[in-house]
């Protein structure tokens, strides 16, 4: 167990600002991913996401770039 803690441990006193920013962004992104997963897989939101399932494939709102009016 001591060898594992030596491998996974970190020297907090030697951490630079970039190290702390990395830890912060990893934790924020992990919490954000858990929140999004909870929102997506919640049964109460199923109808909302199912209604938008084919939104990327819809061609109804076709935008003509450079079209003159």
What is the predicted pLDDT for the residue at 11? 82
What is the pLDDT averaged over residues 56-64? 68
Is residue 69 over pLDDT 60? Answer: no
Question: Cβ distance 37 to 45 under 8 Å?
Answer: no
Residue 35 CB contacts under 8 Å (≥ 6 apart), including other chains? none
What is the predicted pLDDT for the residue at 63? 63
Q: Where are the domains of the chain?
A: 17-53
pLDDT-above-90 percentage for the chain:
36
What is the predicted pLDDT for the residue at 32? 97
DSSP, collapsed to helix, strand or coil, labels residue 62 as coil
Q: Which of 8-12, 17-21, 61-65 has the lowest mean pLDDT?
A: 61-65
**What's the number of CA atoms in the CB half-sphere (13 Å) around residue 65?**
0
What is the predicted pLDDT for the residue at 7? 80
């Amino acid at each position: 167990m001591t060898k594992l803690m030596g491998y996974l441990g970190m020297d907090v006193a030697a951490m630079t600002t970039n190290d702390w920013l990395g830890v912060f962004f990893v934790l924020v992104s992990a919490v954000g991913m858990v929140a999004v997963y909870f929102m997506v897989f919640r049964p109460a939101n199923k109808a909302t996401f199912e209604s938008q399932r084919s939104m990327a494939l819809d061609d109804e709102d076709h935008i003509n770039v450079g079209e003159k009016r």
